[in-house]
Amino acid sequence: MLESYIYPAIFTYEDDGIAVEFPDLPGCVTCGETAEEAFRMAQEAIEGVLLILEEDGEVIPSPTPVQQIHPSTNQAVVLIRANMLLARQGSESQAVKTTVTMPKWLKQLADQRHVNFSLVLQTALKESLGVSKSV
C-alpha cells in the first residue's frame, strides 16, 4: 500500500457546476459548484474509492498518463493526489452505528436521565477491553 496516489481526473465545466470523473476508477464521480469545491470533492472521492479497494484487497489500477487523455473543449484534466495516510487514519476513527438490546425499563430510565448511550458504551467497552485509544 502506498502513502499516496496521483490520478488524472476529468473536470467537465457546465452551467450549473463542475462534474468530476476518474477514467481509471469507474464509478468514482463527484461534482462541485466551484473549481475549489470540485477539487476538494474529487480528492475525497478518490481517497474513499481507493480505501475501499485497499480494504477489499482489490488491485489498484495504474493511472493513465495525462497525455493519453483527450478532453473536450469544456473539460480539463486535473491531477488529484490521494493522501492515503490521512484517509486510513480517518477511516480507523470513523464512528460506526451498532444496535444493542437491553431491558425496556433500563432504556426508559436512561432516557429519563438523558444518558448518552454512545459515550457510556464506548467507555464501558474500552474499560472491558483494557484500551485507552481515543475515538
Between 58 and 2, the more confident residue is: 58
Single pTM value for the model:
0.68
pLDDT averaged over the chain? Answer: 89
The reported pLDDT for the residue numbered 91 is 63
Report how far apart, in Å, the C-alpha atoms of 67 and of each of 11, 70, 74, 116 are.
Answer: 15, 8, 17, 55
- What confidence score (pLDDT) does residue 23 get? 96
Output the pLDDT for position 117. Answer: 81
Domain boundaries, the chain: 4-92, 96-135
**Average pLDDT in the 29-37 region?**
95
Banded model confidence at residue 135, pLDDT cuts 50, 70, 90 = very low
Fold of the domain spanning 4-92 = Double Stranded RNA Binding Domain (3.30.160)
pLDDT digits (tens, 9 = 90+) for 47-99: 999 999 998 999 999 999 999 999 999 999 999 999 998 888 876 666 667 78
Taking CB atoms within 8 Å and a gap of at least 24, the contacts of 61-67 are: 61/24, 61/25, 62/24, 63/5, 63/6, 63/7, 63/8, 63/24, 64/8, 64/23, 64/24, 66/8
